[in-house]
Structures are given as structure tokens and as C-alpha cells.
Chain A
Amino acid sequence: ETGVTQSPTHLIKTRGQQVTLRCSSQSGHNTVSWYQQALGQGPQFIFQYYREEENGRGNFPPRFSGLQFPNYSSELNVNALELDDSALYLCASSQDRGRGQPQHFGDGTRLSIL
């Protein structure tokens, strides 16, 4: 069973640029959630995709957007990057968005904004 994989592992960008982060969900999982984790803090929910549709969004501006593909892999796009966007971005997949389903995380993409 292949776990959740994210790419790239590290990325350096400058303010104002755009970035796309990628996530392959665990086999059999149809739900993907994205989180932002600043250094020394807990994860903050960005949004969730279930069967290719957005299924909930946290308190992030519209310049954070996403996609889920028919194979349930997902992308996180961030436009007009700001210094505060520097963080670890985590993707998690689950079998269903339903109650009690644990989310399985990738190792994350470390994004640094200069």
C-alpha cells in the first residue's frame, strides 16, 4: 500500500511569485485535505477535496486554491506569495470524509519565501 506522497519536499520562492504543490493520496482514499503548519505551531486547515469537489475551507484568502483530479491526487496553488506563507504544507488523505476516518499525512513540502 503506497502512502501519501508530496512533491517537492523543499521549495524556495520570492514574494509575489506563484507556487504549485502536489499530493498523491493513499491508494483507495478519495478525500484530500491540505494544512499549513508554521514553525512550532499546530496545523491550520486550508481546504478539503472530496471526489474532486471542495468540501470545506478554512480561514485562508482566495489566493490559496486547489484541485483534485479523477485519480484523487491533488494540487495546492498559492498566488502572490507573501513572507508569511513560509511554512510546512501538509497533505492528508482519508478513505472518506466521514466521521471517524483517520487522515494519513505525507511528509510535507517546506516552502520558504524570500
Chain B
Amino acid sequence: GNSVTQMEGPVTLSEEAFLTINCTYTATGYPSLFWYVQYPGEGLQLLLKATKADDKGSNKGFEATYRKETTSFHLEKGSVQVSDSAVYFCALSSSDSNYQLIWGAGTKLIIKP
């Protein structure tokens, strides 16, 4: 079946550091890929998405590129801020799972000033 694997957290970085959160997936066909962010005490917010191979999603300085050859969708940001501290979830949606979102376990990001 379809699945998403994320790097385990927490990930702790200093402000202005470079961020990478790894995400790989297993899916048949051509899934759409998403990154969601959950700030403490809040619901999930869509951060970015990509719907086909080589697409790059971007938002708020975050980027992720849909790499079909490596089945990956790694999240990157060049310079993180304390306000980026949150839990980040990678997810996929595919026709063979009836377009349900399949989620990774989440990666907690802690940014220290």
C-alpha cells in the first residue's frame, strides 16, 4: 500500500540555519505530494504541494521538489526563524487510495534564537 516516511525528530537548529526535512514515499501511479505544518495548539495548514514529477512547491521561503526517480519530496528552507518552530507533516494523495491523504509521522522542528 501507499506510505510516507519522514525523518524522525525533533530537529533542533539555530536561527538562520539551513533546514532539510527528508520525506520519501511509496505509491503506485502518480501521487500528489504535500507538506503541512502544525503550530502548537493549532490545526494543520497547507504549506506547499506538487502534483507531478519535477514540480517544485514553494511558500514562505520553504521549497520541496517532487523527485520521482528517488520517490522523495524533501522540505528545505535556506534560513530558518524561531517562528518556524512547529511540526511538519509530509503527505500524499493518490487515486488508488481514493485520494485520501496518507501521512508521515511528522517531524518536530525546534529553532533556537
Contact = CB atoms under 8 A, between A and B. Distances in A.
B43 A56 contact: no
A99 B94 contact: yes
A9 B89 CA distance: 22
A55 B95 CA distance: 12
Nearest to B4: A42
Nearest to B99: A97
The range of chain A's interface size is 20 to 34
Contacts of B32: 99-100
B49 interface: yes
Given A42-B103, A102-B34, A55 B46 contact: no
A70 interface: no
Contact of A99 (B44, B95, B105): B95
B85 interface: no
A33 B46 contact: no
B98 interface: yes
A106 interface: yes
B51 A105 contact: no
A68 to B, nearest CB: 16
Contacts of B104: 42
Interface string A94-114: 000111111111111000000
A48 B97 CA distance: 12
B11 interface: no
Contacts of A48: 98-100
B105 A100 contact: no
A100 B101 contact: no
A-B pairs, 3 with minimum CB distance:
A100-B51, A42-B103, A56-B98
Interface of B: 32, 34, 36, 42-46, 49, 51, 89, 93-95, 98-106
